[in-house]
Amino acid sequence: MSAPSASHSQRRERLYLVWDIAIVVLVSANLLLLLVDSLFLLPPLNAGLEALAPSLHQAYDSAIHQRFMTIDLVFVSIFLLDVLAGWAMAIAERRYARWFFYPFVHWYDVLGCIPLSGFRLLRVLRLISLLIRLQRLGAIDIRRWRLYAFFERYYRVLMEELSDRVATRLLSSLQEEVQRSDDFTKRLTEQVIQPRKAALVDEIARRLETTVDKSYAENHQEVHRYVATLVTRTLEENQELTRLRRLPMGEHVAHAMERSLSDVASRVVHEAIDGLSSPRFKSLIGDLAGSGIDAWLYVDQRTDRVTEQVLIETLEMLKDEIAVQRWRDELDLR
């Protein structure tokens, strides 16, 4: 982009910014006027103002209240000019796919120009949209405003309360559905668990292999000592070996047999652990896991009741967790 073009774009952005700020001020003034005049129409406030400050009451009544429609039409004419100017700029800049999309996108601006009490409230949306636009441009930082912090805090409280009630109602409906269903456990087994049986078996076998490998690698010395102790105790209780020890050179033979058997037993354990990664062992573990899952998936009337109760209590626990009002802790911290 050339320097003159960039300078022209910056001037145009500044012009938009000044115009938006002016419209924000005018909309704020108009909303303030609407609020004051609405309060003026209330008989108790009107009578109180007339009793406390009759001159102010008379001045407002003659200068503003009786000319309220005229004053409001002046604001409306400016707002209508803003809508038409924004529409023209949108067409010139081709912001939307069709030239007539602008009034539908900014419907609150268009309807807010209608000088009727119901439509005047839409000017609040106009003010909010302008503030959001200024926030995006970096002209203001609404998040630092105390008013924004106040509304943002209680907006979060409102959203949390609403979402908690919706979630609690949904969980209660789920509990009722589980209680009314006669074949929930069966459908859960057939439609959810059974199609994933192969994946579950593979996962169980993989975790078993990983667990045994890791445990043996960390405790192989203790395993060998335990095997040696077990072999020694078994041989000491063997009557034939006891008689062998009484023969000449029998003690040496017995010790040699003990060492050999301990070594053989340790090697058997080691080979068994190494064999966990073999296809044959994986097939064995898969068969065992599959048999276990089949037994677990077997559904009878008692199993159905137990599963139903577990689900209901789980949902109830979730409801209790949702019922915790965490926003109270946040407000206390602030």
316 and 173 both lie in a single domain: yes
Q: Are residues 248 and 310 in the same domain?
A: no
- Are 77 and 150 in the same domain? no
Look at residue 74 in the predicted model and tell me its pLDDT.
Answer: 92
pLDDT surpassing 70 at residue 117: yes
Residues 311, 294, single domain; the answer is: no
The whole-number pLDDT of residue 5 equals 59
The answer to whether residues 225 and 169 belong to one domain is: no
122-132 residue pLDDT tens: 888 888 888 88
* Whole-number pLDDT of residue 315: 84
Last residue of a domain, which of 114, 142, 170? 142
Q: Does one domain contain both 30 and 95? A: yes
- pLDDT band for 277, please (50, 70, 90 cuts): low
* Residues 169, 45 within the same domain: no
The CA distance from 27 to 73, in Å, is 13
Q: 115, 142, 169: which is the final residue of a domain?
A: 142
pLDDT for the residue 77: 92
> What was the pLDDT predicted at 8?
64
| Band of pLDDT at residue 81, cut at 50, 70 and 90 | very high
Percent over 90 (pLDDT), the chain: 4
For the ranges 87-101, 128-142, 250-264, 272-286, the maximum mean pLDDT occurs at 87-101
Mean pLDDT, the chain, rounded, equals: 78
Q: Which has the higher per-residue pLDDT, 124 or 306?
A: 124
pLDDT at 317 over 80: yes
- Residue 327, pLDDT > 70, answer no
Range of the domain at 27: 3-142
Higher pLDDT, 279 or 66: 66
Going by the DSSP 8-state scheme, the letter that residue 324 receives in this structure is: S
Count of domains observed in the chain: 3
**Percentage of residues in the chain with pLDDT exceeding 70?**
82
- Tens digit of each residue's pLDDT (9 = 90 or more) over 190-244: 787 778 877 877 787 778 777 877 877 777 778 777 777 777 777 666 666 666 5
Decide if pLDDT at 296 tops 70: no
Query: 248: phi > 0 → left, psi -120 to 50 → alpha, else beta; which?
Result: beta
When comparing pLDDT for 300 and 318, which is higher? 318
Residue 4 has pLDDT above 60, yes or no: no
The answer on 56 and 163 residing in a single domain is no
Q: For residue 249, give the DSSP letter.
A: T
Four-residue CA torsion sign, 232, 233, 234, 238: positive
Counting Cα atoms < 13 Å in the Cβ hemisphere of 260 gives: 6
Same domain, 59 and 107: yes
By mean pLDDT, which of 14-28, 194-208, 282-296, 314-328 is the weakest? 282-296
Domain shared by 231 and 331, yes or no: no
Cα–Cα distance measured from residue 10 to residue 16, given in angstroms and rounded to the nearest whole number: 10
Single-letter code of the amino acid located at 116: L
Q: Are residues 9 and 128 in the same domain?
A: yes
- What are 140-191's pLDDT values in tens digits? 777 788 877 788 888 888 888 888 888 888 888 888 877 777 777 777 777 8
Query: What's the rounded Cα separation, in Å, for the pair 67 and 63?
Result: 7
- Exposed, middle or buried, 30 (CB in 10 Å: 0-12/13-18/19+)? buried
Tokens representing residue 72 in the block: 């409001």
Same domain, 95 and 202: no
